[in-house]
Amino acid sequence: MRSLRAYGAREPRAAVANARVLLVASAAIVTVLPVFYESDGGLAAFVVHWTGIAALLGAALTCRLVSPERLDRAHIGLVLGLGSVALIGGLNVLTSDVSAGSQAFYAFPVLWAAVHLRTPAVVLVTASALTADLLTLLVLLPPAAAMADFLFFGALLVVIAVLLVRANRTQDLLVDALQRQVTVDALTGLATRRAFDQAMESAMGRSEPGGTALVLIDVDSFKSINDTHGHPVGDDVLVHLARVLRGRIRTDDAVLSRLGGDELAVLLPGCGRDVAARRADELLHAVRAEPLCLPDGTLLSLSISLGVAHVPQGSRDRRGLYTSADSALYDAKRAGRGQVALAPA
């Protein structure tokens, strides 16, 4: 069974804002239609006409008063799309209107759905518009004339929906690619500094039980590796380290990041001070145990220095946490490298 989320809006705020404008504009258009078109639908057409106007304005007011997120959870986009199609079809039948103008109204919900809703919802709204248009034409016109009109307007609606869905899909791919560039380091596949900062802000904002720990990591003698073996090998070292560290860190409770150059970081939300120190020691020994195999078959032994800091639950001092871990890292390097230093509690 397809998840109901597949029928929601791509961007709820934009969808609701534009729906509000479209609903008010549609109510205004429907209000003035009797000035230009005489209806022979009698009382039923009159009731549906003004009920439809009230429904459009009521929906616009709802979009104004209720949060977009709550409306999206209620699948208001799908409701608006299908409801608009039903209203248009009902008015066309009751007024016996099969003009090009009356059929063009079906483009409104299809256009809005194709721009703002996810693909399954667009398919459903478009299919409902095609069905309503076909039934209306068959009721009011001879079969041959009805099919001729339907083929023209049906093709128009389908082309509109397909083109907009494809355009949105392309846009989504571009946005995903840009988002990945912002949050994922291209060389190592680790989180970027920006993603790390966001994760730290989020973790400390949640006031994790046990507090939050931070491990900063530097590659020992990294400049010497670059000078001796070349920068491509330096890149290989970083990729190798990322793989080794990723294999020792559970990504569901930690964030492994490349902050820049050869500086890496491990954010450990909900991790106590002693546990963080123990995990840092495990990383140190894991790197020592897995040398990098160079292109010529030589094994390059690697070493890292680690600084560990911890703040208790409720602390929001992100700068203090980073500064403490950075100071501890330099303590480890000054003490001879290849070891873990723990910041004072």
Q: What CATH number has the domain bearing residue 228?
A: 3.30.70.270
Instruction: Say what the pTM is.
Output: 0.58
Question: 150 and 249 share a domain?
Answer: no
59 and 207 inside one domain = no
Read off the pLDDT band of 251 (50, 70, 90): low
* Domain boundary, last residue among 183, 208, 227: 183
* Weakest-pLDDT range from 10-24, 84-98, 164-178, 184-198: 164-178
Q: How many residues does the chain have?
A: 345
Query: Where a domain ends, among 150, 183, 216?
Result: 183
Instruction: Tell me the mean pLDDT in the region 334-340.
Output: 93
Give the per-residue pLDDT at 161: 92
Is 170 in the same domain as 258?
Answer: no
For 38: left if phi > 0, alpha if psi spans -120 to 50, otherwise beta; the answer is beta
Judgement on whether residues 220 and 179 belong to the same structural domain of the protein: no
Q: Are residues 109 and 175 in the same domain?
A: yes
Please determine, for residue 141, whether its predicted confidence score (pLDDT) is greater than 60. Answer: yes
Tell me what pLDDT residue 77 has: 87
Instruction: Give the pLDDT confidence score for residue 326 in this predicted structure.
Output: 94
Mean pLDDT, residues 33-45:
64
Does residue 44 carry a pLDDT above 80?
A: no
Residue 85 banded pLDDT, cuts 50, 70, 90: very high
Query: Please, which residues bridge with residue 212 across strands?
Result: 269, 311
Residue 106 lies in a domain: yes
pLDDT over threshold 70, residue 3:
no
Query: Average pLDDT, whole number, for the chain?
Result: 88
Closest-CA residue to 257 (of 329, 199, 338, 333): 199
- The domain tally of the chain equals 2
Residue where one domain finishes, among candidates 183, 207, 236: 183
DSSP assignment letter at 338: S
Answer yes or no: do 179 and 215 share one domain: no
Q: 83 in a domain, yes or no?
A: yes
pLDDT value of position 176: 67
Q: Are residues 146 and 215 in the same domain?
A: no
Q: What is the pLDDT of residue 34?
A: 66
Both 162 and 23 in a single domain? yes
Instruction: Note the pLDDT tens digit of each residue in 283-296.
Output: 999 999 999 999 88
Q: What is the mean pLDDT of residues 17-43?
A: 77
Give mean pLDDT, residues 67-74. 89
Q: What's the rounded mean pLDDT across residues 254-273?
A: 91
Q: Which residues pair with 308 in a beta bridge?
A: 215, 342
Query: Is the same domain home to 147 and 23?
Result: yes
Its domain, for residue 119, covers: 4-183
| pLDDT value at residue 302 | 95
Please check whether residues 81 and 211 belong to one and the same domain: no
Least confident of 1-15, 97-111, 128-142: 1-15
**Quick one: 151 and 281 in the same domain?**
no
Identity of the residue numbered 186: A
Q: Are 48 and 73 in contact (CB under 8 A)?
A: no
Give me the half-sphere count of Cα atoms (radius 13 Å) on the Cβ side of residue 82.
11
Q: Tell me the pLDDT band of 213, cut-offs 50, 70 and 90.
A: very high
Q: Is 117 contained in some domain?
A: yes
Percent of the chain's residues with pLDDT above 90: 50
Q: pLDDT tens digits for 148-186? A: 999 999 999 999 999 999 988 887 777 666 666 667 888
pLDDT band at 1 (very low <50, low <70, confident <90, very high): very low
Q: Is the pLDDT of residue 137 over 90?
A: yes
Q: Is residue 188 part of a domain?
A: no
Do 210 and 318 fall into the same domain?
yes
Residue 41 has pLDDT above 60, yes or no: no
Helices (H), 76-205: 76-94, 100-104, 107-116, 119-140, 143-183, 193-205
